[in-house]
Structure 1
Amino acid sequence: MSTTEYGDIWHLEEHGKLRIGSSGISWKALEGGKTVNVPASELKWAEWTRVARQFQLRIGLKDTWRREAFDGFTRQDQDSVGGLIKQHFDLNMEVKELSWRGWNWGATDFRGQDLVFLIGNKPAFEIPLPSVANSNIAGKTEVSLEFIQPDMPKKSAKNAPDELMELRMYIPGTLPKDNDNEDDAGAEETSAAQAFHESIKEKADIGQVSGESIVIFHEVLVSTPRGRYDIHMFPNFLRLHGKTYDYKVPYNTISRMFLLPRADEQNVSLVVNLDPPIRQGQTRYPFLVLVFNRDETMVAELNLDEETLATKYEGKLEKSHDGPAHQVVANVFRGLVQKNIARPSSAFAAQSQDPSHPVKCSLKAVQGELYFLEKSIFFLSKQPYLVNFNDVFNVVFTRLGGGMASAKTIDLRIEPKAGSDVTFSSIGKAEKEYIEDFLNSKKVRVKTEAVDEVMAVDLGSEDEEMQSVASSDDEPPKVRVGGGDDDESSEDEDFQASSSDEGSPTSDSDSDDSDAGSAASSPAKPKKAKARETSGSPAPKKPKKTDGDGKVKPKTKPKVAAEKDDSDGEGPKKKKKRID
């Protein structure tokens, strides 16, 4: 039979021509030669919907959740398209009305393999549940859905269309208790968000681990995110099944893998770099850190036939793997993900003082271990950090705080081509030579801040000055009240002369009231001078208070009098109390 063609029909972000015939439906782009073919035997349903680009024909396929949508039809095309669908495929094209209210609140409903968001009993949008990668609860009332990203080469990622990565739904309230069930009579109420999360996990097949998995690793210790998980390996993805959280990780989100021996000589870590990262609540985890004991052994039998091992995996996997646990898991990951596993560079290990140990250091307040690889530097801790050599502009050896010559540690500051600097501190000083030689072999620019020694000398001279000032400050001021050495008395006389010349024209025989007025209006130094004058005037009283002690009391009294005089400006009053 003949086919009917419709021009200027859009598929995603490209426009082309659509043909409907007895063999099926086909669409071809006007530029680029991209085609979409749907055989007649795979058609399951057809819908006609009003969309932004006029009207849309959406078709669903049998035995899969895949669906194709074609936009750009006019209102006059509805009868002709419906007639062709009925004539060639014996299907009724359903006219579907969407909600145009624009509300962001409504109700959800599970219809087959779709999650439908309803506003006023009309669908606003639909989410195919098989496209949901993970579901997480953020708080008690918010559920986030993460979607599987398409597998496409990185070269074409710039021209790729926009993809929905995450959707969050606010679901308040709690579910009522089921009083009819005696077993659940004493159970606590379940939040509506928790019930919705469990439904998503069940419908989207996130938490279920049944099926044809290739191999299962039981109770694997994972330090990031912390917990013990059963790892189920499938042909295109892996599942982490824990007591609280479940994660679905497609292999195309795994960018790099590392096998790193730990500094304790007892454990080995397999680190998996994820892009985009998985999330637990509000925390994102771009790295999975699996920890294995060196002495632990494992036997893994793969659920694959010999033909699949030889053709699909090109002999990188074997039917049975036996050996140390970390090596078995690493070999299975390398074969299924089809990416190499990076290890510490042998060139650096040959130069290091202890080849079996990484370099211990700290990143801000986090302690960890620094590994030098062939193409990068990896910091392994609770918060791993990766630095590629291609992204490094400069590496500087320095010390924070000036760095004294006697310091036993140094700091390694990495200046990237874009972004802020990263400083690894508390590195053993003996490792500087080996790190510098290794970075030079990788053609990385290395600098050493030579100002450390100069700063140390300057700081030393400043310390001496500070010590001399501190020592002088600790000594009490040499001010004598009621006696002292001749040199000190001469200085007092000079001070009295200058004060008398600059002060009021009154004589030394002024009354106490005039003295008090001058003391109130003058600064602290004139007070001290007046104290010396008054202390020297009542000469007959001195032999009565000394009681034959000589100059011992005058040496101790000035310290007390000076301290009191500097603190509150009432030297004479304190002196009279001490004398009485």
Structure 2
Amino acid sequence: MYASLWEKFSDIYFNLSNENGTVRFAETGFGWKPSSGGDTFTSDKDQIINAQWSRAARGYEVKIHHRTDGIIQLDGFKQEDFERIAKAFKIWYSIALDNKEHALRGWNWGKADFSKAELVFQVNNRPSFEIPYTEISNTNLAGKNEVAVDFSVPADANDTGTNGHLGGARARGKKSGGAKDQLVEMRFYIPGVATKKDKNEDGEEVSDGEQHEEQNAANLFYETLMEKAEIGEVAGDTYATFLDILHLTPRGRFDIDMYEKSFRLRGKTYDYKIQFDSVKKFMVLPKPDDVHQLITIGLDPPLRQGQTRYPFLVMQFKRDEEVNLDLNMKEELLESEYKDRLQGHYEAPISHVVTDIFKGLSGKRVTRPSPAFVSHHEQSGVKCSVKANEGHLFCLDRAFMFVPKPATYISMDNIASVTMSRVGGAMAASRTFDITFTMKGGMSEHQFSNINREEQQPLESFFRTKGIKTKNEMADDSGAILAAALQDDDLASSDDEMPNRGSADEDDESIDEDFQATSESDVAEEFDENHDSSGGSDSEMGDADSDAPAREAMPERPKKKQKTSK
């Protein structure tokens, strides 16, 4: 008979949290309460599948496989606590607390096993490390034999999944939120081929006696992880799909799948699942070419492609391209949840359909260019450059947006002043100008160059309308630019100021009006096959002085006219 009512342990860390607390195991279940008195996590004993004891970062850890919350980690136990906890699990929960020893060889090659709740990397049949599926945000085929795994990164560094209304382990992807350094990506090199095997509910491999076709091992690993971590289609029914959509940032073509709470980008190499909660901005920008429409989506946290981060997605659509689409949604759901927000059938330009469905599913506000700005060519944006990258700058009601690369968002609330100036040579400066946004608090500047001179007045008027302090340096240097532009004409016409350099100068500058040119082909060049040596043979040179009549018969070269000074 086990007489104790509960087992209590202090200084225990829940799911890698930065704050310790107290854990209690009782006959009905267990619970953890932080020392600061925040939200308490509790669980019924029927939710426990199995548990294991192992060495961990802060001492010893009890890892519990939970039916609804995946993996629950309780870290900070002492070695002598094992017998008390094992006895409680056996008597109260009828579960054996397995003692697992990790591989400490330091090898980076081994075998990856997919259990029910986590990916286990084993070395010599011992676990080297485990990755809970709840911590995986995305996975991609980075090469023929390489798979990249991206980990969840919470937007709030203080949200560790153990505070707020989320309630501990129920917070998906929040375990390492409070850490200063976070692991954001891991890559697996998986050579060879493999055969897919069926597994039961507990993750154990079972054989059905059928022969399965072998396939690339990396592809099998990728597909299995997509299924286990609930990335992609298994996240729910697809309400709408748009195929082969051109993306300017990141560059490529992706298929877009719309779900209830997320959307997915499927490309040839990369595959992304993005929650609507990560979308902070949604902008529809008409490209000034009168042909394309741009949709720009701001993300936080940004999209990652290896070491590159993309805080904005930039899609491009043709304005005259229409789509005929039936929403994959039951009428009951459409009427109850999305009434007046979505339509069952769409027949309109594809950019309008994407915008309407995205707005209806996510509830996000759609931002468009400000009607207060119209460019010289009656467009919503102006063509300009950021360093060597050409793009367009759009004026919004409360911000400026440059697309496509690097996509730059500038809030008007953070702008201290705008400077309009000319940079470059005299001719270049007379046709274009630059604008520089100086940010408040000594933040970095944003410079946009090579803007058409005709856009100066519309931009300056818009800055003043929005109350932005504007400095026009072009008016200060207008006299110098005019003088530089006229400098070549002054040099060509002011002959009286040029010194007399003798006959060589006269030969170059004067025109022989009496000379009549017949044809360019009449004069043979030295490299022409019809060219005769101008000097002739030695005998001809010797007879040249005796041929006086012939010399007298030759007409004299007309004299050049003397150049008269004005």
Same fold by TM-score, threshold 0.5 exceeded? yes
Candidates 270, 283, 287, aligned match of 2:295: 270
After TM superposition, list the pairs within 5 Å mapping 1:315-334 onto structure 2. 317-318=341-342, 320=344, 322-324=346-348, 325-334=350-359
Candidates 432, 448, 465, aligned match of 1:424: 448
Q: What is the aligned partner in structure 2 of residue 161 from structure 1? A: 178
| Counterpart code for 2:399 | S
Would the aligned equivalents of 1:137 and 1:281 in 2 still touch at CA under 8 Å? no
Distance in 2 (alpha carbons) for counterparts of 1:119 and 1:236: 38
Candidates 298, 301, 314, aligned match of 1:289: 314
> Is 2:140 aligned against 1:116?
no
Structure-2 change in CA distance of 1:18 and 1:135 (3 Å): same
Q: What is the aligned partner in structure 1 of residue 201 from structure 2? A: none
Distance in 1 (alpha carbons) for counterparts of 2:145 and 2:437: 42
Would the aligned equivalents of 2:7 and 2:26 in 1 still touch at CA under 8 Å? yes
Q: What is the aligned partner in structure 2 of residue 49 from structure 1? A: 54
Would the aligned equivalents of 2:438 and 2:446 in 1 still touch at CA under 8 Å? yes
| Counterpart code for 1:3 | W
Candidates 91, 100, 103, aligned match of 1:99: 103
TM (normalized to structure 1)? 0.70
1:331-361 CA distance string (max 9 Å, x none): 2212332321110012224xx4454442222
| Counterpart code for 2:45 | A
Structure-2 change in CA distance of 1:405 and 1:14 (3 Å): closer
Q: What is the aligned partner in structure 2 of residue 36 from structure 1? A: 41
Q: Larger helix proportion, structure 1 or 2?
A: 1
1:348 partner SS? coil
TM (normalized to structure 2)? 0.71
Distance in 1 (alpha carbons) for counterparts of 2:430 and 2:258: 50
Q: What is the aligned partner in structure 1 of residue 327 from structure 2? A: 301
Q: Which of the pair has the greater relative contact order for Cα pairs under 8 Å at 6+ separation? A: 2
1:359 partner SS? strand
Candidates 384, 398, 413, aligned match of 2:436: 413
> Is 2:399 aligned against 1:376?
yes
1:401 partner SS? coil
- Count of aligned positions: 474
Structure-2 change in CA distance of 1:436 and 1:461 (3 Å): closer
Would the aligned equivalents of 2:342 and 2:360 in 1 still touch at CA under 8 Å? no
Distance in 2 (alpha carbons) for counterparts of 1:155 and 1:51: 22
Structure-2 change in CA distance of 1:393 and 1:194 (3 Å): farther
Quote how far apart the aligned CAs of 1:134 are: 2.3
Would the aligned equivalents of 1:396 and 1:414 in 2 still touch at CA under 8 Å? yes
| Counterpart code for 2:85 | V
1:25 partner SS? strand
After TM superposition, list the pairs within 5 Å mapping 1:140-539 onto structure 2. 142-150=146-154, 160-162=177-179, 164=182, 166-169=184-187, 171=189, 174-175=192-193, 196-206=221-231, 208=233, 211-280=236-305, 283-295=308-320, 296-303=322-329, 306=332, 310=336, 317-318=341-342, 320=344, 322-324=346-348, 325-349=350-374, 352-401=375-424, 403=426, 407-417=430-440, 420-449=444-473, 450-456=475-481, 459=484, 475=501
1:150-170 CA distance string (max 9 Å, x none): 47599999x951374522336
Would the aligned equivalents of 2:278 and 2:300 in 1 still touch at CA under 8 Å? yes
Structure-2 change in CA distance of 1:222 and 1:119 (3 Å): same
Q: What is the aligned partner in structure 1 of residue 169 from structure 2? A: none
2:477 partner SS? helix
| Counterpart code for 1:38 | S
Q: Give the percent of matched residue pairs that are identical in Structure 1 and Structure 2.
A: 33
What stretches of structure 1 of length at least 5 have no aligned partner? 178-182, 480-543, 557-580
2:79 partner SS? coil
Distance in 1 (alpha carbons) for counterparts of 2:117 and 2:5: 35
Structure-2 change in CA distance of 1:165 and 1:54 (3 Å): closer
Would the aligned equivalents of 1:209 and 1:232 in 2 still touch at CA under 8 Å? no
Distance in 2 (alpha carbons) for counterparts of 1:16 and 1:47: 20
1:174-224 CA distance string (max 9 Å, x none): 5599xxxxx999xxx96x656654554454454546842333334434343
Would the aligned equivalents of 1:214 and 1:304 in 2 still touch at CA under 8 Å? no
Q: What is the aligned partner in structure 2 of residue 10 from structure 1? A: 13
What stretches of structure 2 of length at least 5 have no aligned partner? 164-176, 196-211, 506-544, 561-566
| Counterpart code for 1:255 | K
Distance in 2 (alpha carbons) for counterparts of 1:478 and 1:232: 78
Q: What is the aligned partner in structure 2 of residue 530 from structure 1? A: none
2:373 partner SS? helix
| Counterpart code for 2:60 | F
| Counterpart code for 1:5 | K
1:161 partner SS? coil
